[in-house]
């Protein structure tokens, strides 16, 4: 039996399959390769540099303005996490746009993450949609497809194919690249309807819209370059026994197992929580034009270049000069 590698994981910005109109437009998932002793020392030092009485150390504690020196220590070259943490980012609105673009493929099948063949179409829709349709109709389009492609609509919202394509019909005449995508989408309606029926028949079919799933797959593939990977993950309702079994099947022998823990009792998971939360905040600030140059420079070596990110300006700042592992 090959030896397994154990990594600890946590996320920030998770809202399940609700990707539009939620609390944050960015999802971040951190994976940490660190032994328990090193992680405990890291958390203990954070408590000295950025103190809190909370029993569980979280990203919000070190992100307070008065604790900036502690944050700079954590992310800096002399800190304890450089080279031991990878953070996978997801721009949620681009993720939905990418799923819409994927529906245009004639042989569209459920898949983890985005279809690379639809990358140019997704980028064009994401870039041109707000300008071509207006912000209100652009948001309505993304939200309608978000609900249509969800395996479960836990909020009690129901959206039919007819309702969604009534909106698509009004956008077909917008012209330009975004209007062309709507024309293609209009012709792909039977394929979209068939995919929706498949989701209703089997809500566990991949891909779930939840960005946690491609993030976990990426973490396993990044760290498991030679030996199988075991994940120690903060508790997540998405990670049911059925979903974990599916992940193991998809990843083959690369994922040896996935164990859910309470982060309060695992310092490694607390480090993952801190790094995911910090990366999400820095990335969101850049996405919305409020970026912090110093923190952006420091967070860049931790970010995965395979992240699902559509905004060209912030991508260049966050992801294009990442130090290779």
The confidence band for 282, taking pLDDT boundaries of 50, 70 and 90, is very high
Q: Residue 85: exposed, middle, or buried by beta-carbon count in 10 A (0-12, 13-18, 19+)? A: buried
The pLDDT of 25-50, averaged and rounded, is 97
Task: Determine which of 126-135, 150-159, 247-256, 285-294 has the lowest per-residue pLDDT on average.
Answer: 150-159
Task: Tell me what pLDDT residue 299 has.
Answer: 98
What the block records as the tokens of 173 is: 């005449």
Q: What is the dihedral of CA 123, 296, 35, 51, to 10 degrees?
A: -130
Q: What is the pLDDT at residue 2?
A: 53
pLDDT digits 0-9 by tens, 88-138: 999 999 999 999 999 999 888 888 899 999 999 999 999 999 999 999 999
Which of 15, 13, 14 lies closest to 155 in space, CA to CA?
15
Tell me the backbone φ, ψ of residue 87, rounded to 5 degrees: -120, 125
Quick check: 89 and 279 in contact, CB under 8 A? yes
**Among the listed ranges 5-14, 64-73, 238-247, which one has the minimum average pLDDT value?**
238-247
Q: Quote helix, strand, coil % in the chain, to nearest 5.
A: 55, 10, 35
Q: Are residues 206 and 151 in contact, defined by beta-carbon separation less than 8 angstroms?
A: no
In whole angstroms, give the CA distance from residue 38 to residue 78.
14
Give yes or no for residue 155 having a pLDDT over 80.
no
Nearest to 24 by CA among 122, 127, 93: 93
- Residue written as tokens 């792909």? 188
Q: ∠ CA 132-135-138 to the nearest 5 degrees?
A: 70
Q: Using DSSP bridges, classify how beta strands 5-12 and 255-261 pair: parallel, antiparallel or unpaired.
A: unpaired
Average pLDDT of every residue of the chain: 92
Between strands 5-12 and 26-32, the pairing is antiparallel
Q: What is the pLDDT of residues 171-219, one digit of tens each?
A: 998 989 999 999 999 999 999 999 988 888 886 776 668 999 999 999 9
Mean pLDDT of 71-95: 97
CA nearest neighbour of 103 among 193, 18, 163, 180 = 193
Q: How far apart are CA 273 and CA 317, in angstroms?
A: 23
**pTM exceeds 0.85 for this model:** yes
Other Cβ atoms within 10 Å of 163 Cβ, number? 12
DSSP 293: H
The per-residue pLDDT for 323 is 40
Given the structure tokens 């920030």, which residue do they identify?
12
Tokens read off for 267: 């310092």
Chain-centre distance of CA 195, in angstroms?
Answer: 22
pLDDT at 78: 92
85 has a pLDDT exceeding 70: yes
Q: What percent of the chain has pLDDT over 90?
A: 82
Contact 31, 279 (CB under 8 A): no
Residue 303 DSSP class: B
- Give residue 305's Cα distance to chain centre: 13
Query: Quick one: pLDDT at residue 200?
Result: 83
pLDDT band at residue 322 under the 50/70/90 scheme: very low
Look at residue 324 and tell me whether its pLDDT is greater than 70.
no
């Amino acid at each position: 039996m090959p030896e397994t590698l154990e990594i600890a994981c946590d996320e920030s910005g998770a809202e399940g399959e609700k990707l539009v109109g939620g609390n944050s437009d960015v999802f971040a998932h951190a994976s940490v390769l660190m032994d328990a002793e090193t992680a405990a020392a890291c958390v203990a030092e954070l408590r000295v540099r950025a103190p809190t009485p909370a029993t569980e150390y979280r990203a919000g504690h070190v992100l307070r303005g008065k604790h900036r020196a502690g944050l700079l220590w954590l992310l800096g070259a002399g800190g304890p996490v450089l080279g031991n943490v990878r953070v996978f980012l997801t721009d949620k609105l681009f993720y939905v746009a990418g799923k819409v673009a994927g529906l245009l493929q004639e042989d569209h099948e459920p898949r983890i993450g985005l279809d690379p063949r639809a990358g140019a179409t997704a980028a064009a829709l994401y870039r041109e949609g707000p300008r071509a349709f207006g912000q209100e109709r652009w948001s309505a389009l993304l939200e309608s497809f978000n609900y249509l492609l969800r395996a479960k609509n836990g909020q009690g919202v129901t959206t039919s194919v007819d309702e969604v394509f009534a909106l698509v019909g009004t956008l077909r005449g917008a012209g330009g690249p975004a209007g062309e995508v709507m024309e293609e989408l209009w012709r792909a309606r039977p394929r979209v309807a068939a995919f929706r029926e498949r989701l209703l028949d089997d809500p566990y079919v991949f891909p779930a819209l939840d960005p946690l799933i491609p993030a976990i797959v990426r973490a396993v593939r990044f760290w498991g370059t030679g030996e199988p990977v075991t994940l120690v993950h903060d508790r997540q309702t998405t990670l049911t026994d059925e979903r974990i079994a599916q992940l193991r099947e998809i990843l083959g022998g690369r994922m040896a197992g996935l164990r859910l823990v309470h982060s309060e009792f695992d310092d490694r998971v607390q480090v993952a929580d801190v790094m995911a939360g910090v990366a999400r905040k820095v990335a969101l600030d850049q996405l919305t034009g409020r970026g912090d140059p110093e923190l952006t420079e420091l967070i860049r070596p931790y970010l995965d270049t395979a992240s699902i990110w559509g905004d060209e300006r912030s991508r260049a700042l966050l992801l294009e000069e990442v130090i290779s592992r």
